[in-house]
Amino acid sequence: MSAKLILGKVVSEDIYEELRQRIEVLKAAGTVPGLAVILVGDDPASQVYVRMKEKKCEELGMKSMPVNMPKSTTQDELLTKVDELNRNDAVHGYLVQLPLPKHIDEDAVINAIDPSKDVDCFHPYNVGRMLIGEPKFLPATPAGVQQMLIRSGIETAGKHVVVVGRSNIVGKPMAAMMMQKGKGADCTVTVANSKTVDLPSITKQADILIVAVGKAHFITADMVKPGATVIDVGTNRISDSTARNGTRLVGDVDPSVAEVASAMTPVPKGVGPMTICMLMANTVKAAEYATEAVR
């Protein structure tokens, strides 16, 4: 068996085409969806990610509003900027790029974001709505995973999903979304982590295995049920003397799993492109909510 590859670029292009049509409707009503991103400091990885968001906004005809602040920014200064974006009607959605410098309380900043503009879906209000099955927004990476399953024709109803990882960004919301009623869900869900006793006995039960543990090649072929769908959310940089810069990106899933699984996402080119895609989708949705409220 050789697994069918589920490619984020392919799935995201379908969604972008749908978003372009919705953006044109909004523009006809006098609204240009606007996304702001606050970047505090000069972390290289964060800078790259922010530039990718800006580029995608431009490609879709949305308004990109980057906000760059020095690493020395105080918490009060950042909260003042958050308040400004909350009151700016041209900003339909925004996010504060994480991680923040250690002297800033991330929770305090997230809690200050207007939930109606919280396109990262980190605010407790939006997390709560997601948990009870009445989401305003869905967190970008888990939403991207769910769309990959739906648009790849992978049945989820009644299936056993095992999520390996328990972060607030991926693991917890992913589990909550997959247990809901509806398309791309209706699953029996088990949540495990790197400290789970006899983890292989759990992962081998999965019809759909979603891995977001942050450990390179952590899941091996002997931990996967034959024919399972495996979604690798991990992104780890490891040394590679054959690579031009001496490193390369790998996932949490070992490549040998491709000989056992029926379908899987590669790293890179798998889940990665879906995160920005779903962030754009949330921004368009926020603009639609705002336009409807004005009417």
Domain-located, residue 126: no
Asked if the peptide bond before residue 99 counts as cis, ω within 30 degrees of 0, the response is yes
Residue 189 dihedral angles phi and psi, to the nearest 5°? -120, 130
Asked if residue 268 has a cis previous peptide bond (ω within 30° of 0), the answer is yes
Query: For position 235, which CATH number holds?
Result: 3.40.50.720
Q: The pTM is what?
A: 0.95
pLDDT at 243: 82
Rounded to an integer, the average pLDDT of 282-291 is: 97
Provide the domain limits for residue 82. Answer: 30-115
Whether 24 is in a domain gets the answer: no
Encode pLDDT of 173-200 as tens digits: 999 999 999 999 999 999 999 999 999 9
Distances (CA, A) of 278 to 99, 112, 121: 20, 22, 11
Check pLDDT > 70 for residue 295: no
Q: How many Å apart are CA 90 and CA 112, to the nearest integer?
A: 18
The pLDDT score that the predictor gives to residue 57 is: 97
Point out the residues that are catalytic.
53, 97, 120
88 domain-assigned: yes
Q: Write down which residue in 115, 131, 154 finishes a domain.
A: 115
Cβ neighbours for 17, distance < 8 A, ≥ 6 positions apart: none
Q: What is the mean pLDDT of residues 114-129?
A: 98
Residue 132 CA to residue 226 CA, distance in Å, equals 33
Mean pLDDT along residues 135-143: 97
Instruction: Give a yes or no: residue 63 inside a domain.
Output: yes
CA atoms within 13 A on the CB side of 239: 1
Average confidence (pLDDT) over 59-77: 97
CA angle 293, 137, 250 (to 5 degrees): 150
What mean pLDDT is predicted for residues 202-215? 98
Average of pLDDT values for 162-180?
A: 97
pLDDT of residue 44: 86
Whether residue 70 is contained in a domain is answered as: yes
Query: What distance lies between CA 228 and its chain's CA centroid?
Result: 22
Number of domains forming the structure of the chain: 2
Strands (E), 147-254: 160-164, 188-192, 208-211, 229-232, 236-239, 247-250
Confidence of residue 1 (pLDDT cuts 50, 70, 90): low
pLDDT in tens, 29-53: 999 999 999 999 998 888 888 999 9
Residue 153 and residue 86 share a domain: no
Q: Give the confidence band of 23 by pLDDT, cuts at 50, 70, 90.
A: very high
